[in-house]
Structure formats: structure tokens, C-alpha cells
């Protein structure tokens, strides 16, 4: 196996990965001066940045014109993917998680009866999902019962067991499913993934993309997460062994396989499947964005 083939294949898949929210209803009885629902929205890669004003991007149609009893805040973070942009993907996502955690903590302390919703797109869905997983497993800034819902659009860590809205996408997110899932808020979490969106619908047997996704997700290199990294890498390796082991990986690194991968990526980018959620039809013929808006509005 030639090193340059490995680098080329991982590079192509990493380019895919780098470009890289809600259940429950009811009306919260908020304290005077507090919203009934607090929505924390996390935009996707390149939709915001440290030197930019918080921008809605894809999520504009989700958060615009919610009931007056709802308050929305957008998270500002690096929203980058490559080192030459300022931050690697893992560090950029960590910024988003920390910023969203801070917003939620501040609101929870100020308004004890306000319910909280998280919504994210692409890298923002990755961050929102990670934060939701912490909360749902009892490790978050608020108890699970404070979460009204979590909405994820094109989540790079989508699991096949997550509750999907719309046509069922195959495989899982390019970064691999979250270990432990969403815990106590699984029933209040919804994910939308277009069937042709490779960020959130990577085939189980596409090990080059899965390894590249793992490298992107672990680029933060947080020692506290080493146990999780080991579990996630072990999951990929176990699946690889079940699909033929090293010979299978070698086949995916062949010259012809690399050429086909480039063609597949070109087809994916030209399809714009990752950016068409404003028109992608899901439940009841609504667009993904409209469905998510209506769901969150019902919680306010």
C-alpha cells in the first residue's frame, strides 16, 4: 500500500467531511420577562465566524417568525475546517459547543421555567448534537427535562438509530455516530438528512471516508476524550474486519477506486445536496427548513 495513495484518498474524503434538531411539544410557563422557549441556533461551516456578526445562514427559515414567546440566539464561532483558515475542524466545533453551552447556562440561571431548544446545520448540527448528547446523558449544563427539543439538519454524526424526518437516508454521518446517543432526550431529537448528502449519509462500508471523518472529528485532540476516540476508532476497525479486513481497505485505496471517489465527490458537490434543505421535501411535503420551523414554533 503506497503512502501517497493513503494520503490522496484520505485527503479527498477529508474535503468531504470538512464542509461540514426536535421532539416534544407543549407550552412552558415562563417567569415574568422570560421567554417560554429559548432557541440556540448554530450555523454551519463558513456561515459565521469570529470576525462576523452572528448569521443565520441555512437556519434563517427555521428561526424567523417564531411566536413572540420565543427568543432566539445565534452562536458565533470560527466555523472553519482547515488549519489555514484559523482552526481545524475539531477546535472550531469545540468553540461552537462551548459558546452554546454558555448561552444555555446563562438563560437557565436567569429564567428557571424557560424551556430550551437546540438547532444546528452541518458543522452546527455536529456541535448541537454533541451538546445535546452531553445533556441527554446527564453531563450537560442543564438537566434533560429543560430541553424541549433538538433539531439537526445534515448532522455529520448522524446515527442510523436517530429519529429521522423525511426519506430515510442510508449509512451514518461521515464522522460516525455519537457513542451513547442522546440518552434521555432521544425522544425529543429529530434529524433531517437528504438521501444524497454524503456529510450525513456515508455508506457503512466506505472506510476511507469513515477514517477521514474520524480524523476530522478528533483533530481537537482533547485528552479528556481519549476514551471516546478509542471507542469510535474501534467501531470502524470492527466494521472493517467484518467486511473483509485489510484487503477491503487496500481495494478502496487502489488507483481505480481513488479515481471513482473523485468522480463521486464531484457529482456530490455539483448536486448541491448539502445546501438544498430549503427545498428538500420531508414530512407532509414541507421543506426540511419549514418543517423544523413549524416544529419549534409548536414548542413556544
pLDDT of res. 223: 65
Q: Would 169 be classed as within a structural domain?
A: yes
Q: Would 207 be classed as within a structural domain?
A: no
Question: How would you classify residue 26: left for phi > 0, otherwise alpha for psi between -120 and 50, otherwise beta?
Answer: left
Residue 219 has pLDDT above 50, yes or no: yes
pLDDT of res. 21: 32
For range 196-225, the mean pLDDT: 76
Q: Which residue has the higher pLDDT, 106 or 269?
A: 106
Question: How would you classify residue 59: left for phi > 0, otherwise alpha for psi between -120 and 50, otherwise beta?
Answer: alpha
Res. 4 pLDDT band, cuts 50 70 90: very low
Contact 149, 296 (CB under 8 A): yes
pLDDT of res. 29: 53
Residue with cell 428538500: 280
Residue 71 sits in which domain range?
A: 21-201+272-297
Res. 104 pLDDT band, cuts 50 70 90: very high
**252/209 Cα distance (integer angstroms):** 10
In degrees and rounded to multiples of 5, residue 153 shows phi and psi of -110, 120
Q: Would 279 be classed as within a structural domain?
A: yes
CATH number for position 290: 3.40.50.1820
Residue with cell 421567554: 35
- Residues 130-188 pLDDT 10s: 999 999 999 999 999 999 999 999 999 999 999 999 999 999 998 889 988 999 999 99
Q: Would 208 be classed as within a structural domain?
A: no
Q: Would 35 be classed as within a structural domain?
A: yes
Percent of the chain with pLDDT over 70: 80
- Residues 18-58 pLDDT 10s: 444 333 344 445 577 899 999 999 999 888 887 666 567 89
Q: Would 224 be classed as within a structural domain?
A: no
**117/103 Cα distance (integer angstroms):** 12
Q: Would 66 be classed as within a structural domain?
A: yes
Q: Would 196 be classed as within a structural domain?
A: yes
Number of domains present in the structure of the chain: 1
Question: Is this model's pTM higher than 0.85 or not?
Answer: no
Residue 210 has pLDDT above 90, yes or no: no
- Residues 243-261 pLDDT 10s: 777 787 777 778 877 777 7
pLDDT of res. 7: 41
Question: What does the mean pLDDT of the chain come to?
Answer: 83
**Which one-letter DSSP state was computed for residue 21?**
-
pLDDT of res. 48: 86
Residue with cell 446517543: 181
Amino acid at each position: 500500500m503506497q503512502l501517497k495513495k493513503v494520503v490522496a484518498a484520505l485527503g479527498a474524503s477529508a474535503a468531504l467531511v470538512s464542509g461540514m434538531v426536535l421532539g416534544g411539544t407543549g407550552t412552558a410557563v415562563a417567569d415574568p420577562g422570560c421567554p417560554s422557549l429559548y432557541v440556540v441556533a448554530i450555523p454551519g461551516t463558513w456561515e459565521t465566524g469570529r470576525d462576523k456578526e452572528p448569521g443565520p445562514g441555512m437556519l434563517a427559515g427555521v428561526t424567523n417568525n417564531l411566536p413572540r414567546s420565543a427568543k432566539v440566539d445565534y452562536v458565533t464561532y470560527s466555523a472553519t475546517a482547515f488549519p489555514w483558515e484559523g482552526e481545524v475542524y475539531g477546535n472550531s466545533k469545540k468553540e461552537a459547543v462551548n459558546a452554546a453551552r454558555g448561552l444555555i447556562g446563562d438563560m437557565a440561571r436567569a429564567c428557571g421555567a424557560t424551556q430550551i431548544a437546540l438547532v444546528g446545520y452541518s458543522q452546527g448540527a455536529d456541535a448541537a448534537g454533541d451538546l445535546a448528547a452531553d445533556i441527554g446523558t446527564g453531563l450537560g449544563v442543564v438537566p434533560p427535562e429543560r430541553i424541549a427539543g433538538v433539531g439537526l439538519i445534515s448532522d455529520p454524526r448522524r446515527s442510523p438509530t436517530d429519529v429521522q424526518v423525511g426519506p430515510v437516508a442510508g449509512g451514518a454521518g461521515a464522522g460516525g455516530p455519537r457513542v451513547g446517543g442522546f440518552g434521555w432526550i432521544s425522544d425529543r431529537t429529530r434529524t433531517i438528512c437528504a438521501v444524497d448528502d454524503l456529510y450525513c449519509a456515508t455508506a457503512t462500508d466506505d472506510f476511507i471516508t469513515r477514517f477521514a471523518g474520524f480524523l476530522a472529528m478528533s483533530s481537537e485532540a482533547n485528552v479528556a476524550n481519549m476514551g471516546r476516540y478509542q471507542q469510535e476508532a474501534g467501531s470502524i476497525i470492527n466494521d472493517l474486519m467484518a467486511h473483509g479486513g485489510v484487503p477491503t481497505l487496500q481495494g478502496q485505496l487502489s488507483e481505480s477506486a481513488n479515481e471513482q471517489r473523485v468522480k463521486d465527490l464531484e457529482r456530490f458537490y455539483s448536486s448541491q445536496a448539502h445546501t438544498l434543505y430549503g427545498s428538500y421535501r420531508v414530512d407532509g411535503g414541507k421543506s426540511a427548513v419549514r418543517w423544523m420551523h413549524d416544529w419549534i414554533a409548536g414548542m413556544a
